[in-house]
C-alpha cells in the first residue's frame, strides 16, 4: 500500500499555485501515494487572520476534493488539533507550506510526544507569478475595481 | 465508446458552482462520457467584457484540467471559431450555460450549416449561494476590502 501524505491549508480562492503544491505533496509519497488535505475551518481562519475567508468552508472543501491530485479533503478542527488529525489520518508524511511554521511546530511536538514515525516535508514556494497566492489575487481584484 | 460532451467558459476564479456545472455536463454524456472544456482566451474575455480576466489563460486552463470531472481542457480561438472547435473535438453533445446564448446560437448555426448530429444541452443555474459566480466573488472581495 502507498504512503499517506497529509497537508493542510485555507485554499480560499483556488489557484494554480495550490495545485502545484498539492502535486508536489502527493509526489513525495511515491507511487500509489494517497493525498489527504485538511481544509481550515472558517472560524480558524477568522481567528488567525482577523477576518473570515471569501469562500465558505464547505465549498472550499468540495472544490479541493474535486481535484485529481486530492484523494480526500476533510474540514479541520476549529482549534487545529494536530494530535486528533494525526490519529485520524495516520499519515506517513506531513507536508507543510513555506508559511506554515506553526503547523510544522505543532506536528513536530505531536510526533515527539507520541514518538511517531512520521516525516515532515517542507514544500517549496511556487512560481514567479503574481498570482500564486490568494491574497495577491484579492489585491489584484481590488486594484482592477478601483 | 462513451459520448463526448463539449462545454466552454471563462472560469476566471474557479468556484463550486463551476464544478457542479461541469459535473452536470459530463453526466448528460452517460456512462464513460468524456468531457472536453474550451477555456476562453484572455483576449476574447477582454473583447467581450471590456477588461481582461484576473487569472491568465494558461493558469485557468491548467486548473480546469486538474479537475477529476474534466478529461481535457483546451484554450479556445480568440474569435470563438465554433466551426473549428467542433471539427477538432467532434462532440456528441454541446453543453451551454444559462448565460451563453451567443455560444448556443453559434453552435446551432454550425450544426445547421453542416447538417451535424450534435445535440445542444442547456445547463441549469446552480445554487442559491451568493458565491456561484466569479463576479459575485469579486464583488465580495471588493466589499470586504472597503
| pLDDT per residue rounded down to tens, chain B (146 residues) | 799 999 999 999 999 999 999 999 999 999 999 999 999 999 999 998 898 899 999 999 999 999 999 999 999 998 888 999 999 999 999 999 988 999 999 999 999 999 999 999 999 876 555 556 777 888 888 887 77
Torsion over CA of B48, B52, B58 and B62, rounded to 10 degrees? -80
User: What pTM does this model have?
Assistant: 0.91
| Nearest-by-CA chain A residue for B69 | A66
Residues 6+ apart with CB under 8 A from B48: none
pLDDT for position B1: 75
Please report, in angstroms and rounded to a whole number, the separation of the first and last CA atoms in chain A.
53
Determine, for residues B19 and A138 on separate chains, whether the beta-carbon distance falls below 8 Å. Answer: no
Q: List CB contacts (< 8 A) between A59 and chain B.
A: 15-16, 129, 131
pLDDT for position A129: 55
Helix H or strand E encompassing B49: helix B42-49
Q: Cβ of B21 under 8 Å from any chain A Cβ? A: no
Q: What is the distance between the alpha carbons of residues B71 and B66, in angstroms, rounded to a whole number?
A: 9
Instruction: Give percent helix, percent strand, percent coil of chain B, each to the nearest 5.
Output: 45, 15, 40
**Number of residues that make up chain B:** 146
Q: Which residues of B78-98 are buried (b: 16+ CB within 10 A; e: fewer)?
A: eebebbebbeebebbbbbbbe
What angle in degrees, to the nearest 10, is found between the helix axes of B16-28 and A57-65?
40
Q: What is the DSSP letter of A38?
A: E
pLDDT for position A143: 80
* A137 — pLDDT class (breaks 50, 70, 90): confident
Least confident residue range of A20-34, A114-128, B34-48? A114-128
Q: How far is B51 from chain A (nearest CA, A)?
A: 9
pLDDT digits (tens, 9 = 90+) for A54-109: 999 999 999 999 999 999 999 999 888 899 999 999 999 999 998 899 999 999 99
Q: Which is more confident, B34 or A127?
A: B34
User: Which residue is catalytic, options B49, B90, B119, B140?
Assistant: B49
What's the complex ipTM? 0.90
Residue B101, exposed/middle/buried by CB under 10 A (0-12, 13-18, 19+)?
exposed
Torsion over CA of B69, A45, A41 and B142, rounded to 10 degrees? -50
Q: How many CB atoms within 10 Å of residue A7?
A: 25
- Taking alpha carbons only, the member of B63, B54, B61, B21 closest to residue B139 is B54
Q: Cβ of B129 under 8 Å from any chain A Cβ? A: yes
Q: What is the distance between the alpha carbons of residues A106 and A87, in angstroms, rounded to a whole number?
A: 14
Which contacts (CB < 8 Å, 24+ apart) does range B128-132 have?
B129/A59, B129/B16, B129/B17, B131/A54, B131/A55, B131/A56, B131/A59, B131/B15, B131/B16, B131/B17, B132/B15, B132/B16, B132/B17
- Taking alpha carbons only, the member of A15, A9, A87, A97 closest to residue A48 is A9
Q: What percent of chain A has pLDDT over 90?
A: 72
pLDDT for position B68: 98
| Nearest-by-CA chain A residue for B57 | A16
pLDDT for position A127: 58
Amino acid at each position: 500500500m502507498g504512503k499517506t501524505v497529509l497537508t493542510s491549508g485555507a485554499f480560499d480562492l483556488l489557484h494554480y499555485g495550490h495545485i502545484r503544491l498539492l502535486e508536489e505533496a502527493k509526489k513525495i509519497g511515491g507511487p500509489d501515494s494517497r493525498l489527504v488535505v485538511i481544509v481550515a475551518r472558517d472560524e480558524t481562519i477568522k481567528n488567525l487572520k482577523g477576518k473570515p475567508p471569501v469562500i465558505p468552508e464547505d465549498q472550499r472543501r468540495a472544490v479541493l476534493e474535486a481535484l485529481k491530485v486530492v484523494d480526500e479533503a476533510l474540514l479541520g478542527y476549529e482549534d487545529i488539533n494536530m494530535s486528533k488529525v494525526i490519529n485520524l489520518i495516520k499519515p506517513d508524511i506531513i507536508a507543510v507550506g513555506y508559511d506554515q511554521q506553526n503547523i510544522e511546530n505543532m506536528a513536530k511536538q505531536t510526533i515527539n510526544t507520541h514518538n511517531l514515525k512520521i516525516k515532515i516535508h517542507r514544500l517549496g514556494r511556487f512560481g514567479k507569478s503574481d498570482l500564486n497566492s490568494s491574497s495577491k489575487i484579492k489585491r489584484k481584484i481590488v486594484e482592477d475595481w478601483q
